[in-house]
Amino acid sequence: MNRRTTRTLAAALSLTAALAISGCSSDSADSSGADGEKPELTVSGAFMPEPVNDKMAGAFMVIKNGSKIADKLTGVTSPLSDDLQIHETKDQKMQQVQSLDVPANGELKLARGGDHVMFMGLKNKPAVGDKVTVELRFEKAGPVKVEVEVKERTYNAENSNAH
């Protein structure tokens, strides 16, 4: 009984040693790559023009990537709607896309007439001054929570810089 315990222990110890060695070598291989590094994203100027009805609404913002790692916006969620889509505008018609690029050391601009976040079906119709919480999901960066401010229908972020 005593001898068997010793043998099992010895086997376990040698297994642990083998694992430690292989774990160590794979660690050093990984750390030479960009693995584990995450893009740093900041979001500014998020707004939603006051929706006309409770069927749909668009949201616009600028997502800045201050890192050398390119990322992608892959999804959006919000308590205001169960169906948020990522849209691009081509030939003045918008269509759903799976993702939008957030280039390294660059930005993804969601703006009127271009790429945007689309709420399909609103649980309630927000008014000017309300804030709508959305969570942006990215391929590499962790989720980013953004407060989207509801603005007048004619509001445009670009013009607001002037005042």
Which residues have C-beta within 8 Å of that of residue 56, sequence separation ≥ 6?
A: 118, 119, 120, 121, 122
111 binds Cu ion (CB under 5 A): no
Query: Does residue 94 touch Cu ion according to CB under 5 A?
Result: yes
- Does residue 150 contact residue 60 with C-beta atoms inside 8 Å? no
User: Which of these segments, 6-14, 70-78, 115-123, 131-139, binds Cu ion (CB under 5 A)?
Assistant: 115-123
Nearer to Cu ion, 43 or 110 (CB): 110
Backbone phi and psi for residue 43, each to the nearest 5 degrees, phi listed first? -115, 135
Q: How far is the CB of 89 from Cu ion (least distance, A)?
A: 7
Closer CB to Cu ion, 72 or 87, in the complex: 87
Residue 102 vs 117, nearer CB to Cu ion: 117
Pairing mode of beta strands 41-49, 144-151: parallel
What lies within 8 Å, CB to CB, of 132 at 6+ separation is: 48, 59, 78, 80, 126, 147, 148, 150
Nearest CB to Cu ion, comparing residues 62 and 94: 94
Q: Does residue 87 belong to the site contacting Cu ion (CB under 5 A)? A: yes
Instruction: Considering only the stretches 7-15, 65-73, 90-98, 155-163, report the one whose residues sit in contact with Cu ion under the rule CB under 5 A.
Output: 90-98
Cβ distance 98 to 74 under 8 Å?
Answer: yes
Q: Does 118 bind Cu ion (CB under 5 A)?
A: yes
144 binds Cu ion (CB under 5 A): no
Which residues of this protein are in contact with Cu ion, per CB under 5 A?
87, 94, 118
